Chain A
Amino acid sequence: MQLKASILTSEELRRALTRIAHEILERNKGAEGLALVGVHTRGIPLAARLAAKLRELEGVDVPLGRLDITLYRDDLSEIARQPVIRETQLDFDMQPRRIILVDDVLYTGRTVRAALDALLDLGRPQSIQLAVLVDRGHRELPIRADYVGKNLPTARTELVKVKLEETDGVDAVELWERDGTPEQA
């Protein structure tokens, strides 16, 4: 694989999240009644950062959850290779809340579909909105994000790598050229 371009620096990533936080507050008229749910793996630290920004901007602690969607995925040959399921933790009542689902990259839409199925099996929130750091296109399902940090038209042969301090030791978004067949992300 070969690095083609740096898409977001640490500072740009921070600004993108600040903008998303503002948009969330704007659309929902504040942070009351919201909850943030991060999709494993990198959606979780992104959701935590958005929660911190909402606290900073509004002084409200928005409940935070984590969602593993392995049991809901339909790309079976892929998950067959990684059978370890991670924790789902939603320690709040979803019924009265508007959920902001957070993920790093929106690509085919299959991960989001699985996340929606998983969330709805766990409770019945008032509504679900979707926030992603990068929308790289190539949707296979009728799904779109409500909040996007960066729209990035890509080729299927390319790979978008989101790196975060919490998981990778550095904040960056990079575009790589992949050898061989296209994959997720």
Chain B
Amino acid sequence: MTAFSDTRPRHLLDFQGWSTERLTAILDNADTMLSVLDRPVRKVPALQGLTVCTVFFENSTRTRISFELAARRMSADVVSFAASSSSLSKGESLRDTIETLTAYKVDAFIVRHEASGAAHRVAQFSGKPTINAGDGRRAHPTQALLDAYTIRQEYGDLAGRNVTIIGDVRHSRVARSNTELLTRLGANVTLCGPATLLPRDLAGERVTLTTDARTAVKGAHTVMALRLQTERMDAGYLGSLPEYIQGYQVNEALMEHAEPGAIVLHPGPMNRDLEISADTADGPRSRILKQVENGQAVRMSVLYHLLVGRA
């Protein structure tokens, strides 16, 4: 029997309360989940009888489908709630919505919301296991887990690996969750972007901040390009897009400064030829589609860890 230094967490809202051993166990079990996806029957009965509800207040087709497939592969039933077509537009509150869904005997919630902290509120209103599928600028833990898994798959271990994250760090919950997880797993993280998009408070042990992309990728084993979240930029964060491309686009010329064989990641959706060049996104260094595949396996593992035995 495996002993963990934490008590079994009830939710995955961020990594608070999750021991490094337990997070590592999620990555270990994702290997098995990945093998399930390669079988003739891509389904196991581990969560049979449970109903999982995806509650997406912010549009995201890929993350929602990834979670829904993950739940179905584990034999859970899935219901989906899309805010755009719900009674929220008639003035119903988040609390009423979640309490109604809970009354339908939903066993777990997967939540995406544009407001930081919304997933915590859902967990509080429902009392059911809740997974944060991205809230505001705050956290996106399963994306960080799948990124860590993809890097580990490449190198075997994260300890001592250098990961550079380039782009709109300020608005990125992916960058925040990745920085926390990767450093806990022993990697060194360099965050890079224009000064206006690089919050100084993220600097810390194993975390370096720089505005110079060439310096940032030097020695990097993995380079992650972040989507430029222009929809969140209500102030003059950027001079111009051509200027941004010139300084921060992840492309072949920039990757020449990284470690030989370094891989490229992107959490998606991509703006090709903006934050990442099309040839790099489609090139041999790219593990972007691998991330998508791994995402399903990692989410199966997260669902398993949170829900098994909690019917």
Query: Which residues 1-40 in B have Cβ within 8 Å of A in the complex?
Result: 1-2, 8, 25, 28-29, 31-32, 35-36, 39-40
A83 to B32, CA, bound (A): 12
Q: Which residue of B31, B45, B304, B311 contacts A83 across the interface (Cβ within 8 Å)?
A: B304
Q: Which chain A residues lie closer than 8 Å to B304 at the CB level?
A: 71, 83, 85
22 residue pairs of the A-B complex, CB under 8 angstroms, read: A70-B46, A71-B32, A71-B44, A72-B44, A72-B45, A76-B311, A78-B309, A79-B308, A80-B8, A80-B308, A81-B1, A82-B2, A83-B304, A84-B2, A84-B25, A85-B29, A85-B32, A86-B32, A88-B32, A88-B35, A121-B40, A122-B40
Q: A71-B46, A117-B45, A122-B40 are in contact. List 11 more A-B contacts (CB 8 A).
A: A71-B45, A71-B74, A72-B44, A76-B311, A80-B309, A80-B310, A83-B304, A83-B305, A86-B32, A88-B32, A88-B35
Report whether B8 and A87 are in contact in the complex, using a CB–CB cutoff of 8 Å. Answer: no
Contacts between the two chains (Cβ within 8 Å), count: 56
Let me know if A77 is at the binding interface, CB within 8 A.
yes
A 80-111 binary contact with B (CB < 8 Å = 1; else 0): 11111111100000000000000000000000
A86 to B39, CA, bound (A): 16
Interface centre among A72, A78, A83 (most CB of B within 10 A): A83
Q: Which chain A residues lie closer than 8 Å to B74 at the CB level?
A: 71
Let me know if B120 is at the binding interface, CB within 8 A.
no
Let me know if B43 is at the binding interface, CB within 8 A.
yes
A80 to B25, CA, bound (A): 13
Let me know if B41 is at the binding interface, CB within 8 A.
yes
Q: Which chain A residues lie closer than 8 Å to B309 at the CB level?
A: 76-80
Q: How far is the CB of A184 from chain B (nearest CB, A)?
A: 12
Q: Which chain B residues lie closer than 8 Å to A87 at the CB level?
A: 31-32
Q: Which chain A residues lie closer than 8 Å to B35 at the CB level?
A: 88
Report whether A122 and B28 are in contact in the complex, using a CB–CB cutoff of 8 Å. Answer: no
Q: A79-B308, A79-B309 are in contact. Are A84 and B40 (CB under 8 A)?
A: no
Report whether A121 and B29 are in contact in the complex, using a CB–CB cutoff of 8 Å. Answer: no
Q: Which chain B residues lie closer than 8 Å to A182 at the CB level?
A: none
Report whether B2 and A121 are in contact in the complex, using a CB–CB cutoff of 8 Å. Answer: no
Interface size on A, residues (CB 8 A): 22
Report whether A84 and B45 are in contact in the complex, using a CB–CB cutoff of 8 Å. Answer: no
Q: Which chain B residues lie closer than 8 Å to A122 at the CB level?
A: 39-41
Report whether B44 and A121 are in contact in the complex, using a CB–CB cutoff of 8 Å. Answer: yes
Q: Which residue of B1, B25, B41, B305 contacts A121 across the interface (Cβ within 8 Å)?
A: B41
Q: Which chain A residues lie closer than 8 Å to B28 at the CB level?
A: 84-85
A71 to B311, CA, bound (A): 15
A81 to B309, CA, bound (A): 9
Report whether A83 and B44 are in contact in the complex, using a CB–CB cutoff of 8 Å. Answer: no
Report whether B46 and A72 are in contact in the complex, using a CB–CB cutoff of 8 Å. Answer: yes
Report whether B40 and A123 are in contact in the complex, using a CB–CB cutoff of 8 Å. Answer: yes
Q: Which residue of B32, B45, B310, B311 contacts A68 across the interface (Cβ within 8 Å)?
A: B32
Q: How far is the CB of B50 from chain A (nearest CB, A)?
A: 10
The 4 A-B pairs with the shortest beta carbon distances in the complex, nearest first, are A80-B309, A76-B309, A71-B44, A121-B41
Residue in chain A with minimal CB distance to B45? A72
A122 to B36, CA, bound (A): 9
Query: Which residues 23-79 in A have Cβ within 8 Å of B in the complex?
Result: 68, 70-72, 76-79
Query: Which residues 30-79 in B have Cβ within 8 Å of A in the complex?
Result: 31-32, 35-36, 39-41, 43-46, 74
Query: Which residues 53-108 in B have Cβ within 8 Å of A in the complex?
Result: 74
Residue in chain A with minimal CB distance to B1? A82
A84 to B39, CA, bound (A): 20
Q: How far is the CB of B3 from chain A (nearest CB, A)?
A: 9
Residue in chain B with minimal CB distance to A82? B1
A84 to B45, CA, bound (A): 16
A81 to B35, CA, bound (A): 23
Report whether A76 and B308 are in contact in the complex, using a CB–CB cutoff of 8 Å. Answer: yes
Residue in chain A with minimal CB distance to B44? A71
Q: How far is the CB of A175 from chain B (nearest CB, A)?
A: 22
Residue in chain A with minimal CB distance to B35? A88
Q: Which chain B residues lie closer than 8 Å to A84 at the CB level?
A: 2, 25, 28-29
